[in-house]
A and B are shown apart, each in its own frame.
Chain A
Amino acid sequence: MKWRKLLKVALQSIARNKMRSLLTMLGIIIGVGSVISLVALGEGSQKDIEGQVASLGTNLLMIQAGSSHIGGVQGGAGTLEALTMADVALLQKDAPLLQGVSPEIRVQSQVVAADHNWNTTIFGVFPDYLMIRNFPLASGAVFGERDLATRAKVALLGKTVADQLFPGEDPVGARIRIRNVPFLVVGILASKGPSAMGSDQDDVILAPATTVLYRLGDGKTVRSIVASAVSGEQMAGAKAEITAVLREAHRLAPDAVDDFHLRDQTEINQMATRVTGTLTLLLTAIAGVSLVVGGIGIMNIMLVSVTERTREIGLRLSIGARPRDILSQFLLEAATLSLFGGILGIVGGLGGAFLGGRLLGISVVVNPGVIVVAVLVTGAIGIFFGFYPARKAANLNPIDALRYE
């Protein structure tokens, strides 16, 4: 058959009833449009969550002191003072699958600058911490091994702290007081924005671990240690090494439970992915139902069209069209109708996704695979739901069809 001519006939017939064709396509347009926009927004928000989790740190492993257990009273995580600076040193020495280890000694305190003051958390850390936590420096310099050894009174300010204490000024070189200890500001951290949980990751001060431990803290409590595995694939190996080193250091019997907690970011990641995945699946299923409804709309209008054009079908049969030619003509018409709806749905869906993404502050990921699938599926819907009307047309008796009023 001459497909170009058939296609022309199909397009003419669709153009002849513009309003009706548009209304028929509406079901498909809404179905495809919602699938396209939901998938684009779903993948976009997934990417956002992955980005936020990655901003916590690179291949991050978090070790927390275990809970105390005194006389039947179970304390919370970190209530046992089981981690020490010696543990940190051992991990640095004996765990080759870790590319960075740092204690994370937290002190909550009022911080005072010349004219302003601010309450924030001071983290006592090693220089590796910036790499582990993905915390690049915006200006100034990081403190070094020498500062650790001398318990130097130097500090790096997070963006929020810098803005609160030194609005409109460059704090590098300025002095601040923490619990009456004077510190020299040596650098400013680049902004990380809010965490996946919504807390402000820029509301921090970093200082050498030794300084915080001995000048601000109690001199022994290291509640948590952070480390970074050499690669994502080595996370499990790195966890095993940490467990082995710490159990050995703490002289735990083989049957004793760990006196520390070890967590990694893949757990957080998986949870977030599962939530968005379920949501996307659910909404896509609803959109699928709308596609079926759209297909039934096409079947309905094709049946009307076959009835309206009974005489035309009779004529075509009488001048030599085989039943198969009539079948192809109406199938092609249904498929074209459906495909047009699909294309309009893709355009509308992408437009909606970008608009929604902007309004909700979510990234939009355009997946070419999804668009190809949408085109194929709408074509298939047209053929599937167009088959019954087309077969009805092809099986018409030419004599009756010619006389049809």
Chain B
Amino acid sequence: MNAETLLVRDVTKVFNLGDVQVHALRGVSLSVRQGEFVAVMGSSGSGKSTLMNILGCLDLPTSGDYHLDGVAVGSLSRNRLADLRNEKIGFVFQGFNLLARTTALENVELPLLYDRRHRVARPHEAAVEALTRVGLGERLHHHPNQLSGGQQQRVAIARALVNQPAIVLADEPTGNLDSRTTLEVLALFQQLNREGLTLILVTHEAEVARYASRRVELRDGRVLRDEPVTAPRDAVADLAVQPALEEES
């Protein structure tokens, strides 16, 4: 069994800003097993965004090894990195990054447009299924501006799921949401995680990290703490006690 979905060993990242060298990561090691729900925490400048970009194959480390689902990312070409992102990674962003004036369904189908190896045989059906999974089966043809923030983020999550990735990377996914919608999105993450999805959630809010099963804290480009979350909270239960607000949309 391929237990380690993600393996990072001694990764450093140095940015050359003119004369100044910025050490964003100073030797980070991390391994994530299949089915884990990891929260990566840290204040701004801790290197969590840099780590996220490297984990997401958007950037390459200066030194160190990175294996994703058995593939050594090392120094792949831009095209191979693109293919890897398409096949193994699902992204969820703080700002949703949905295409405006494009239906929820078309937004979710987008990654399959770049599915060169035709891993997903029926793109349309796969997109409908992903949207149903996040509870938006009724709103396939809505445009982003007809959806609430929480619903938009769920479309983005469906888009991250549609290519059956080895791992979903969520970068501050609740940063633009109110507390109740935050809980709804976290509940969805917990449900997907229970179904077997490997999740890495980057956040600076300790409150949000308490819904994960493991928490990794970065400071100054190093791992400060890496420990299981004792008694993780259940978002569904918290939703029940949260005072009900006016339903959006």
Choose among A5, A318, A323 the residue that contacts B85 (Cβ–Cβ < 8 A). Answer: A318
Q: Mark A296-313, 1 if CB is under 8 A from B, else 0.
A: 000000000000000110
Interface residues of B (CB under 8 A from A): 53, 56, 58-59, 78-79, 82-83, 85-87, 91, 93, 95, 97, 99, 101-102, 110-111, 113-115, 159, 163
Which residues of B sit under 8 angstroms from A399, Cβ to Cβ?
Answer: 53, 58-59
Q: List 6 A-B contacts (CB under 8 A).
A: A16-B101, A318-B58, A319-B85, A319-B91, A322-B114, A398-B58
Which residues of B sit under 8 angstroms from A311, Cβ to Cβ?
Answer: 95, 97
In whole Å, how far is B200's beta carbon from the nearest beta carbon of chain A? 15
Residue on A nearest B53 in the bound complex, by CB: A399
Is B59 within 8 A of A319, CB to CB?
A: no
The complex places the Cα of A321 from the Cα of B59 at a distance, in Å, of 15
The complex places the Cα of A318 from the Cα of B169 at a distance, in Å, of 11
Which residues of B sit under 8 angstroms from A317, Cβ to Cβ?
Answer: 82
Is A312 within 8 A of B114, CB to CB?
A: no
Which residues of B sit under 8 angstroms from A5, Cβ to Cβ?
Answer: 113
Is A320 within 8 A of B56, CB to CB?
A: no
In the complex, chain A residues 286-344 whose Cβ is within 8 Å of any chain B Cβ: 311-312, 314-325
Residue on B nearest A400 in the bound complex, by CB: B58
Interface presence of A234 (CB below 8 A): no
Choose among B56, B78, B95, B102 the residue that contacts A318 (Cβ–Cβ < 8 A). Answer: B56
In whole Å, how far is B100's beta carbon from the nearest beta carbon of chain A? 9
Interface presence of A402 (CB below 8 A): yes
Residue on A nearest B88 in the bound complex, by CB: A320
Which residues of A sit under 8 angstroms from B86, Cβ to Cβ?
Answer: 319-321
The complex places the Cα of A358 from the Cα of B180 at a distance, in Å, of 72
Interface presence of A251 (CB below 8 A): no
Which residues of A sit under 8 angstroms from B159, Cβ to Cβ?
Answer: 319
Residue on A nearest B101 in the bound complex, by CB: A16
Interface presence of A139 (CB below 8 A): no
Residue on B nearest A318 in the bound complex, by CB: B91
Is A322 within 8 A of B82, CB to CB?
A: yes
Which residues of B sit under 8 angstroms from A324, Cβ to Cβ?
Answer: 79
Is A319 within 8 A of B58, CB to CB?
A: no
The complex places the Cα of A316 from the Cα of B111 at a distance, in Å, of 8
Name the 6 nearest CB pairs between A and B, nearest first.
A320-B86, A320-B114, A319-B111, A322-B82, A315-B97, A320-B85
Contact A321 B114, CB 8 Å, known A12-B102, A311-B97, A312-B99: yes
In the complex, chain A residues 147-192 whose Cβ is within 8 Å of any chain B Cβ: none
Interface presence of A146 (CB below 8 A): no
Which residues of A sit under 8 angstroms from B83, Cβ to Cβ?
Answer: 320, 322
